[in-house]
Amino acid sequence: MSEKYDVVVIGAGPAGYVASIKAAQLGFKTACVEQWLDEKGKVQLGGTCLNVGCIPSKALLDSSHKYAEARDGLEIHGISVKKPTIDVPLMLARKQTIVDQLTGGIAGLFKHNGVTAISGKGKVLVGAKVEVTNAAGEVMEIEADKIIVAAGSLPVNIPPAPIDNEYIIDSTGALELTDVPGRLGVIGAGVIGLELGSVWRRLGSEVVMLEALDTFLPMMDIQIAKETGKILKKQGLDIRLGARVTKAEVKKGKVEVTYSTAEGEHTESFDKLIVAVGRKPHSEGLFATDSGLTLDERGYIYVNEYCETEAPNVYAVGDVVRGPMLAHKGSEEGVMVVERIAGKQAQMNYDCIPSVIYTHPEIAAVGKTEQELKADGVEYKIGVFPFAASGRALAANDSEGMVKLIAHAETDRILGCHIVGPSAADLVQQVVIAMEFGSSAEDLALTVFSHPALSEAVHEAALAVDGQAIHIANRKKR
The pLDDT of residue 477 is 61
380: enclosing H helix or E strand = strand 380-386
Region 359-368: what's the mean pLDDT?
98
CA atoms within 13 A of residue 399's CA, in its CB half-sphere? 13
pLDDT band at 464 (very low <50, low <70, confident <90, very high): very high
- CB contact set of 266 (below 8 Å; sequence gap of 6+): 243, 258, 259, 260
pLDDT exceeds cutoff 80 at 349: yes
- CB contact set of 262 (below 8 Å; sequence gap of 6+): 242
Are the C-beta atoms of residues 314 and 307 closer than 8 Å to each other? no
Say if 4-155+280-348 and 168-277 have the same CATH topology: yes
**Closest by CA position to 349, among listed 434, 292, 252:** 434
Could you report the per-residue pLDDT of 138-185, keeping only the tens digit for each? 999 999 999 999 999 999 999 999 999 999 999 999 999 999 999 999
How many residues are there in the chain? 478
Are the C-beta atoms of residues 179 and 87 closer than 8 Å to each other? no
The pLDDT of residue 412 is 98
**CATH T-level fold of 4-155+280-348:** FAD/NAD(P)-binding domain (3.50.50)
Report d(CA 400, CA 414) in Å as an integer. 24
Class of domain 168-277: alpha beta
The pLDDT of residue 39 is 84
The pLDDT of residue 199 is 98
CA atoms within 13 A of residue 153's CA, in its CB half-sphere? 27
Could you report the per-residue pLDDT of 96-129, keeping only the tens digit for each? 999 999 999 999 999 999 999 999 999 999 998 9
Region 381-396: what's the mean pLDDT?
98
pLDDT exceeds cutoff 70 at 463: yes
Q: What is the pTM assigned to this prediction?
A: 0.96
The pLDDT of residue 444 is 98
> Which alpha helices (DSSP H) does 246-324 contain, by range?
none
Are the C-beta atoms of residues 405 and 464 closer than 8 Å to each other? yes
* 219 phi, psi to nearest 5 deg: -80, -10
The pLDDT of residue 264 is 97
Are the C-beta atoms of residues 448 and 369 closer than 8 Å to each other? no
Report d(CA 244, CA 165) in Å as an integer. 22
Report d(CA 292, CA 272) in Å as an integer. 44
Give yes or no: 451 in active site. Answer: yes
pLDDT exceeds cutoff 90 at 3: no
pLDDT exceeds cutoff 80 at 341: yes
Q: Pick the catalytic residue from 65, 360, 408, 451.
A: 451
256: enclosing H helix or E strand = strand 254-261
Region 262-273: what's the mean pLDDT?
97
pLDDT exceeds cutoff 70 at 478: no
The pLDDT of residue 41 is 86
The pLDDT of residue 240 is 98
**Closest by CA position to 142, among listed 255, 30, 229:** 30
pLDDT exceeds cutoff 60 at 1: no
Could you report the per-residue pLDDT of 245-267, keeping only the tens digit for each? 999 999 999 999 999 999 999 99
In the predicted model, what is the mean pLDDT of the chain?
97
- CB contact set of 205 (below 8 Å; sequence gap of 6+): 180, 181, 182, 183, 184
Rg (CA), the chain: 24
The CA-atom distances, in angstroms, between 210 and each of 71, 129, 395 are 27, 45, 36
The CA-atom distances, in angstroms, between 181 and each of 25, 87, 201, 235, 309 are 47, 14, 9, 17, 45
The pLDDT of residue 40 is 84
Domain ranges of the chain: 4-155+280-348, 168-277, 353-464
The pLDDT of residue 164 is 96
Q: Give the three-class secondary structure for 123.
A: strand
* 216 phi, psi to nearest 5 deg: -85, 125
| 353-464 CATH choice from 1.10.150.120, 3.20.20.370, 3.30.390.30, 3.65.10.10 | 3.30.390.30
**Closest by CA position to 360, among listed 194, 204, 170, 185:** 194
Could you report the per-residue pLDDT of 11-27, keeping only the tens digit for each? 999 999 999 999 999 99
Are the C-beta atoms of residues 402 and 419 closer than 8 Å to each other? yes
Report d(CA 54, CA 418) in Å as an integer. 21
Query: Given 3-state DSSP classes, what are the helix, strand and coil percentages for the chain, each rounded to the nearest 5?
Result: 35, 25, 40
**Closest by CA position to 445, among listed 430, 423, 424:** 430
Are the C-beta atoms of residues 210 and 245 closer than 8 Å to each other? yes
Report d(CA 233, CA 224) in Å as an integer. 14
Region 336-354: what's the mean pLDDT?
97
The pLDDT of residue 232 is 98
Report d(CA 62, CA 423) in Å as an integer. 13
Could you report the per-residue pLDDT of 294-338, keeping only the tens digit for each? 999 999 999 999 999 999 999 999 999 999 999 999 999 999 999
